[in-house]
Chain A
Amino acid sequence: MGRDIARDVDRDFADWLAPHLPMLHRTARAFAEPADQHDLLQEMSLALWKARPRFRAESAASTFAHRVAHNAALTWRRGEARRRTRGVAIEAELLTREAGTDPQGALLETLYAAIRRLPPIERSLILLSLDGLPYAEIARLHGLSETNVGARLTRIRQRVASLVEEADHGV
């Protein structure tokens, strides 16, 4: 009976997590080098699993997921959890295949690499903005004013664009 309950809880969590998985994957790519992305993805999922019982419908599920995932990514330490699994290779294959067939794939790789070169808070701000969160929401998540978020994002966008350009020109 205990096992049935655990299975139901797992299924319930999996259903809840599914719509946030693409966001977790993008966050992992922006915060960790390819070899560590799988570890970070698991850390963020674990953080969501622990935090989910405290989720109240007062805020949107996506805002809640962003908050928990970004917190986990900001405080994640490379190599902290050495759980390199056989999955990494398969996952990489799946995602590389996808990137390779799309003309935007190469540009995306450069964009992710540029974001990874930013300081962590800036990384989080630009990710939230790219994921379509309004300034007010980003400001609330980070405890900053909307004006401050706007000013920071203008600067970060310029920096990212110039980093991508540098990479394109092989600088």
Chain B
Amino acid sequence: MEFDRLEAAWRSPANTLDARAQAYLMEEVMKSLKARRRGEILLFAIPMIAMSIFTAIAVRAIAQGRLDPAREWGALVMLGVCWLVLGAILVAGVLLRHRRSQDQGSMRDTLAAMLSANRRARTNMKVFLVMLPVFLVPMLFSITQLHQVGKATERDAWQMLLVFGLALGASVTWNTARYFGVMKPEQRRLEALLKEYE
């Protein structure tokens, strides 16, 4: 088959959207863009609102003398660690927005940059696992302190440990699944694409 015939078919009206199809597609695209944008805002707003509520409760408890920071500092450290992580995500997001992106440089450079980003993300996940004890220590301290000051019975303390343990377990499971189910296949896909250039 002559390639010219295929090129002619490519340029034919059959390969061009008519006005109705184009209008429909545009409407669908804009609808999905709005939905995605709303989703992205919610994804950040929900933890932000939850953290603000917890912080306001803590500040109010300190102000009313119901929480003694000298004896119950564990809970405050826990709150601090959460704000630190949230802040780091926000800063990283802002920095990434200004970084060289896929609309600059060649596609080959972009794929190489994506592979580097994938490597960094996988390293971050490993760091997260290593950092777990850093979060676990203030958590254990805060529960022990609550028990010591009489705000939690032994039964309450065990229940708290169970709930926090389950939450951390779920987080570790999610990250492990993402590591092997998303990040590793993406790494293989990017490596295969870059290999095509050789």
Report the Cα distance A104→B3, complex, angstroms.
14
Q: Which residues of B contact A94 (CB under 8 A)?
A: 18, 20-21, 24
Report the Cα distance A47→B36, complex, angstroms.
12
Interface residues of A in 53-77 (CB under 8 A from B): 54-55, 64, 67-68, 70-72, 74-75, 77
Report A79 CB to chain B, min CB distance, Å: 12
Interface residues of A in 25-57 (CB under 8 A from B): 25-26, 38, 41-42, 45-47, 49, 51, 54-55
Report the Cα distance A18→B17, complex, angstroms.
11
Report A32 CB to chain B, min CB distance, Å: 15
Asked if B197 lies at the interface with its beta carbon under 8 angstroms from chain A, I say yes
Query: How many residues does chain B have at the interface if contact means C-beta atoms less than 8 Å apart?
Result: 48
Q: Which residues of A contact B18 (CB under 8 A)?
A: 94, 98
Q: What 15 new A-B contacts, CB under 8 Å, besides A54-B104, A164-B1?
A: A17-B26, A18-B22, A18-B26, A45-B32, A47-B102, A74-B193, A77-B186, A77-B189, A87-B24, A87-B28, A102-B12, A104-B9, A104-B12, A108-B9, A142-B197
Interface residues of B in 145-198 (CB under 8 A from A): 185-186, 189-190, 193, 196-197
User: B5 to A21, Cβ gap below 8 A?
Assistant: no
Knowing A46-B36, A107-B9, the reply to whether A121 touches B193 (Cβ < 8 A) is: yes
Q: What is the interface of chain B, defined by CB distance below 8 A to chain A?
A: 1-3, 5-10, 12-18, 20-22, 24-26, 28-30, 32-34, 36, 101-111, 114, 185-186, 189-190, 193, 196-197
A46, A91, A119, A162: the one within 8 Å of B21 (CB): A91
Report the Cα distance A157→B5, complex, angstroms.
12
Report A171 CB to chain B, min CB distance, Å: 13
User: B103 to A91, Cβ gap below 8 A?
Assistant: no
Report the Cα distance A117→B35, complex, angstroms.
33
Number of contacts between A and B (CB, 8 Å)? 147
Query: Which bracket fits the contact residues of A?
Result: 35 or more
Knowing A104-B12, A108-B15, A143-B197, the reply to whether A160 touches B24 (Cβ < 8 A) is: no
Q: Which residues of B contact A83 (CB under 8 A)?
A: 32
A51, A122, A157: the one within 8 Å of B3 (CB): A157
User: A22 to B197, Cβ gap below 8 A?
Assistant: no
B1, B8, B12, B101: the one within 8 Å of A51 (CB): B101
Report A147 CB to chain B, min CB distance, Å: 14
